[in-house]
């Protein structure tokens, strides 16, 4: 399975996976309760089944219900989503993406934020990135 889950999922599938990441794990009813403009219970159950077949979610039995969890670790999913975003909207340039994030921020960077970013840049330079 490719780690680039963002480009492999439809809008509703992406919403479901995002809910599972936010909640950690959830039943069909819990996913349904968190979906905007939700479809039927059976439609959500079917989508979770398809996401399982695609290798994006796993499930375990908890009494009379199944509880679903994302398969890919949140850190890997974030990296995949960012990689896709940078590739799609910033011509593959992490610097352009970072600049856009800094420019759109309504808040000024705190001294701690600047220190953290400087340390990250120094570490990347040391690693030859």
Per-residue pLDDT tens over the stretch 29-76:
999 999 999 999 999 999 999 999 999 999 999 999 999 999 988 888
CATH architecture of 5-70: Orthogonal Bundle (1.10)
Query: Do 100 and 90 touch, CB atoms closer than 8 A?
Result: yes
Q: pTM above the 0.75 mark?
A: no
pLDDT digits (tens, 9 = 90+) for 69-103: 999 888 888 888 888 889 999 999 988 998 888 88
* Phi (first) and psi of residue 29, to 5 degrees: -60, -40
| Neighbouring-strand partners of residue 26 | 68
Domain ranges across the chain:
5-70, 93-129
- Which residues have C-beta within 8 Å of that of residue 76, sequence separation ≥ 6? 3
Three-state DSSP class for residue 57: strand
- 5 pLDDT band (50/70/90 cuts)? low
């Amino acid at each position: 399975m490719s780690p680039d889950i963002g480009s492999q999922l439809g809008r509703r599938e992406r919403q479901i996976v995002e809910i599972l990441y936010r909640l950690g794990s959830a039943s069909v009813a819990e996913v349904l309760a968190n979906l905007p403009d939700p479809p039927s219970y059976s439609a959500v159950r079917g989508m979770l089944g398809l996401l399982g077949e695609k290798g994006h979610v796993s499930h375990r039995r908890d009494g009379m219900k199944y509880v679903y969890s994302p398969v890919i670790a949140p850190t890997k999913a974030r990296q995949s989503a960012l990689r896709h975003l940078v590739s799609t909207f910033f011509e593959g340039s992490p610097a352009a993406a970072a600049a856009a994030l800094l420019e759109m921020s309504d808040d000024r960077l705190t001294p701690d934020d600047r220190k953290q970013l400087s340390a990250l840049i120094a570490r990347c330079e040391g690693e030859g990135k």
